[in-house]
Structure 1
Amino acid sequence: MKMPVGSRFAVLAPLLVLVMVATRFKHFGDMLHCPDASMAVFFLGGAYLRRHWMFALMVGLAVLLDWVSVSYAGVGDFCITAAYAFLPLAYAVLWYAGRWYSPRLQGNVRSLAGAFVVALVAASVSFAISNGSFYWLGGRYPDPNVAQYVARLWQWGPLFVRTTMSYVTVALVVHAACARLAANSEQVSHQEA
């Protein structure tokens, strides 16, 4: 028996908001906190929540958390530049990749592997957009050039993408476990009938 869409939304929307708040609030520093899960939250939100207004709400939440971090939590504003305006585009890549893959997302290995690959590509493109806009438009680097940008992309990209994929992998494992439980429950129901 599958969870009704409304019930799934009611459970997952607050969970994804909680994960973003818990991991993003001081994401510019403090190693005592979990790595920022925002990129994974946007992919998973697209896959499970799908609604356009929810994407806008999550972008608003990300901006609010950054504002609170900079204004009240003592986090530096080094990353807040004109390039910050490109974050919604970077997050949209993740959300809409998840949303696009959502109808194909089942509990089997092939489907989960497909979700992993789509998330990996989306996370890489998303990072390239956010990092590229920061490097080229952020005004933090005098005399930007392609060689320096590529070096920075390779320096930071694997960390951000690996972090995103770690969270996505955990979510896909939970998805597989829930699908298996649902299939077993349905099988028991048919046997009892």
Structure 2
Amino acid sequence: MNTTQWLQTKYLPIPLIALMVLTRYHHFGDALHLPDASLAVFFFAGFYRKPALPAFLLILAGLIDYLAIANGTSAYCISPAYVFMIPTYGVMWLAGRYCGRYKTFDRIGLPLNVGMLMLASTAAFLISNGSFYLLSGRFEEVSLSAYIAGGLQYYLPYVGSTLLYVAAGYALVKLLAFLPALQSRHTSA
């Protein structure tokens, strides 16, 4: 079974839901918390190819945010721009669907997957941060160039954590796909 087939099994939603629940509370993480894995979750949800999963994950993200705010987390990021998290996550989901077409990590598939992931993560960053600048009402006194200069510091953690989660996810799937072959070799020896 190849990587894409593993990612399309009926069990994929379980770890994706768990990862979102465990990490959504802290965008960039700290010494005690992992960074938010939502972008990677939606990327992997794209492989799953079931239309109900992204809708469920969007509702779950909103519920987690609501519960976090109700329990004392800052509501600073909640504004009219919050609705733009839908296209932000949609970009990642579409990228996952696209990457699901490349079933092997050969000299063609791997660069296509990494390139698409970088492009989608960058687009997600631009959508979420651009909409926050334009619609949150928190930056009326800040010029666009000043906002961009200040916001660039968040680009690498935003994209970097997504790349790390996706790399870890791919590695885990490859390991899980390899274990039955390893076990059969061990029992036949």
Q: Secondary structure at the match of 2:174?
A: helix
Q: Which residue of 2 aligns with 1:101?
A: 99
User: Identical aligned pairs, as a percentage?
Assistant: 32
Residue 110 of structure 1 deviates from its aligned partner by: 4.0
- Could you list the runs of 5+ residues in structure 1 that have no partner in the other structure? none
**Cα offset for 1:101?**
1.7
Distance 1:7 1:121 in 2: 21
Deviations 1:120-166 (A, max 9, x none): 11011001100110111111112342211321331111111011111
Question: Does residue 78 of the first structure (1) align with residue 81 of the second (2)?
Answer: no
Report the TM-score, using the length of structure 2 for normalisation: 0.85
Aligned with 2:143 (options 135, 145, 153): 145
Q: Which moved more, 1:99-108 or 1:159-168?
A: 99-108
Cα gap change, 1:156 to 1:7, in 2 (>3 Å): closer
Please identify which structure carries the higher helix content.
1
Partner of 2:64: 65
Q: Tell me if the contact between 1:105 and 1:115 (Cα under 8 Å) persists in the aligned partners.
A: no
5+ unaligned residues in a row in structure 2: which ranges? none
CA drift of 1:115 comes to 1.4
Q: Which residue of 2 aligns with 1:170?
A: 168
Paired residues in the alignment total: 184
Give the aligned CA root-mean-square deviation in angstroms.
Answer: 2.7
Structure with larger RCO (C-alpha < 8 A, sep 6+) = 2
Deviation at 1:8, TM superposition (A): 4.5
| Distance in 1 between residues matched to 2:28 and 2:106, nearest whole Å | 38
The CA deviation at 1:3 is: 9.0
TM-score (norm 1): 0.83
